[in-house]
Amino acid sequence: MKKSKNQIESLNDAMVLLEKRRRKEYEDLKLQFYETSESFRPINIFNQAVRDFREFPEVKTNLFETILSVTGGYFSKKIIVGKSNSFIKKISGYVLQYAVTNFISKKVGADTDSKE
């Protein structure tokens, strides 16, 4: 009889410990959810992007290269094709824009690689 009482008491103790552990893990989970949801707020994402922009010079360089290549491609399309109602001219303009963008991107990337 005594053995079963010890077993029941040890089971009750184990259940109490498991319940405390469950509550602690639940509180940790709620805290982690709050922190994660805060990090996905638009203002926090924007602030992190600004921090990265200030702290890492390669981000500035990459942004400049991207803007330069996309702008170059866009203006080359506008200069060569202009406003056109022709489907073929529009498609060829996009192909030209893509080609010029890639060309400028490779040239600017090669120039920055040779400086390092």
Instruction: Note the Cα 62 to chain centre separation in Å.
Output: 15
* pLDDT value of position 108: 75
Long-range contacts of 30-39 (CB under 8 A, 24+ apart): none
Asked whether 112 and 61 are in contact (CB, 8 A), the reply is: yes
> In this predicted structure, what is the pLDDT of residue 110?
67
Report CA Rg, the chain: 31
Query: pLDDT tens digit string along 43-56?
Result: 988 898 888 878 87
Report yes or no: 93 and 81 within 8 Å, Cβ to Cβ: yes
Q: Which residues of the chain have pLDDT under 50?
A: 1
Can you tell me which residue has the tokens 């498991």?
18
